[in-house]
């Protein structure tokens, strides 16, 4: 997803702009520290013809779903999809399933200190759904929507965290995960609110719990429990951003024991309470 925007400014001063076109709407745009962040909406039935970007871009889908065509294949993008598109890579977007809202981050490596460390990450296409990258992207979006003096510095730090996370995941996935580890990941991904035990998951995928614990960490860089927590928090953040559900309902649906447990976990991992996050993304409390 891409709404063309100016190159990022070369200083740390944040600037805010808004523009509109018939098929797309830019609701908020900020330039800070060599990056331009744009929240945009593409109308149902619209499309972006073949295009590319002068610098690498990061895209996070907030709401809706669309198809991206690139290199002869299709990427299905849905809420909490995170992707990196290298500079100059041509792609085409089709918004045929309804309105789509997303956050686009355009990078100018020449004016953004520290990006040279992630050259390998930014020159390769990347696509993920949920997990730690979605949690970090939700935090980035919350800071993007905040209107305080610390937001710019926080966004720069979260950008580097995101790129570091992608670099680590790329290192882990050089060796393909065993099929049973992939099935275990699918179980917790498809139903993050379920109270899975390690023994239950191991039984489902046909291995010993100790084998599952060791192999899952080797394949995905974290324990099964840590992955489930990330997916629950990502699910909760999406509900806070897209629904008016009360916090108790979100906590229950996400699999937390109670609202207090949910609030503490959310604040610890996303840096703010669920209520603060909901206010930051513009949803009613």
* Direct distance between the N- and C-terminal alpha carbons of the chain, in angstroms, rounded to an integer: 29
166 in a domain, yes or no? yes
Q: Are 115 and 89 in contact (CB under 8 A)?
A: no
In 3D space, the residue among 137, 123, 144 whose CA is nearest the CA of residue 56 turns out to be 123
7 in a domain, yes or no? no
Q: Are 58 and 49 in contact (CB under 8 A)?
A: no
In 3D space, the residue among 96, 118, 94 whose CA is nearest the CA of residue 107 turns out to be 118
Question: 198 and 135, same structural domain?
Answer: no
101 in a domain, yes or no? yes
Q: Are 95 and 49 in contact (CB under 8 A)?
A: no
The reported pLDDT for the residue numbered 246 is 95
Instruction: Kindly report the number of other CB atoms within 10 A of residue 155's CB atom.
Output: 23
Q: Quote the domain boundaries for residue 120.
A: 15-172
Tens of pLDDT along the chain (285 residues) come to 655 443 333 344 444 443 334 468 999 999 988 899 999 999 999 999 999 999 999 999 998 999 999 987 899 998 889 999 999 999 999 998 889 999 999 998 777 767 888 888 999 999 988 777 888 898 899 899 887 888 999 999 999 999 998 888 776 555 678 899 999 999 998 888 898 899 999 999 999 999 999 999 888 878 999 889 888 988 898 888 888 899 999 999 999 989 999 999 998 887 789 998 888 776 444
Question: 220 and 165, same structural domain?
Answer: no
φ/ψ (deg, to 5) at 57: -130, 150
Last residue of a domain, one of 127, 149, 172: 172
Question: 206 and 120, same structural domain?
Answer: no
Number of domains composing the chain = 2
Question: 47 and 167, same structural domain?
Answer: yes
The two structure tokens encoding residue 190: 């498809």
Question: 102 and 195, same structural domain?
Answer: no
The reported pLDDT for the residue numbered 19 is 37
Alpha helices in 191-246 (DSSP H): 198-205, 209-220, 224-242
The two structure tokens encoding residue 145: 């929507």
The Cα 27–Cα 156 span in angstroms is: 21
9 in a domain, yes or no? no
The Cα 250–Cα 235 span in angstroms is: 9
φ/ψ (deg, to 5) at 73: -135, 170
The reported pLDDT for the residue numbered 174 is 56
Question: 235 and 198, same structural domain?
Answer: yes
Q: Are 56 and 87 in contact (CB under 8 A)?
A: yes
Last residue of a domain, one of 103, 137, 172: 172
Last residue of a domain, one of 108, 138, 172: 172
DSSP code, position 142: H
Q: Are 209 and 202 in contact (CB under 8 A)?
A: yes
Q: Are 65 and 118 in contact (CB under 8 A)?
A: no
The separation between CA 189 and the C-alpha centre of its own chain, rounded to angstroms, equals: 15
8 in a domain, yes or no? no
Question: 70 and 120, same structural domain?
Answer: yes
pTM as predicted: 0.71
CATH number at residue 126: 2.60.120.280
Question: 21 and 95, same structural domain?
Answer: yes
Q: Are 58 and 42 in contact (CB under 8 A)?
A: no
């Amino acid at each position: 997803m891409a709404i063309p925007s100016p190159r990022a400014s070369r200083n740390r001063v944040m600037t805010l702009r808004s523009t509109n076109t018939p098929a797309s709407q830019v609701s908020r745009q900020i330039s800070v520290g060599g990056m331009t962040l744009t929240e945009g909406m593409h109308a149902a039935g619209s499309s972006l013809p073949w295009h590319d970007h002068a610098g690498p871009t990061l895209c996070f889908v907030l709401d809706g779903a669309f198809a991206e065509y690139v290199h002869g294949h299709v990427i299905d993008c849905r809420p909490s999809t995170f992707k990196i598109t290298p500079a100059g890579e041509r792609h085409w977007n089709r918004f045929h399933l309804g309105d789509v809202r997303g956050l686009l981050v355009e990078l100018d490596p020449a004016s953004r200190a520290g990006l040279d460390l992630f050259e390998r990450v930014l020159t390769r296409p990347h696509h993920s759904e949920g997990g730690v990258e979605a949690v970090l992207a939700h935090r980035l979006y919350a800071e993007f929507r905040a209107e305080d003096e610390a937001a710019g510095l926080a966004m720069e730090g979260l950008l580097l965290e995101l790129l570091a996370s992608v670099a680590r995941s790329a290192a882990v996935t050089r060796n393909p995960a065993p099929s049973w580890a992939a099935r275990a990941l699918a179980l917790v991904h498809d139903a993050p609110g379920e109270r899975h035990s390690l023994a239950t998951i191991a039984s489902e995928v046909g291995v010993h719990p100790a084998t599952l614990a060791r192999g899952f960490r080797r394949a995905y860089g974290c324990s099964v429990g840590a992955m489930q927590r990330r997916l629950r928090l990502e699910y909760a953040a999406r509900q806070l951003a897209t629904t008016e559900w009360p916090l108790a309902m979100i906590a229950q649906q996400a699999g937390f024991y109670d609202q207090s447990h949910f609030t503490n976990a959310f604040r610890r991992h996303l840096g703010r309470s669920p209520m603060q996050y909901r206010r930051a993304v513009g949803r009613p409390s």
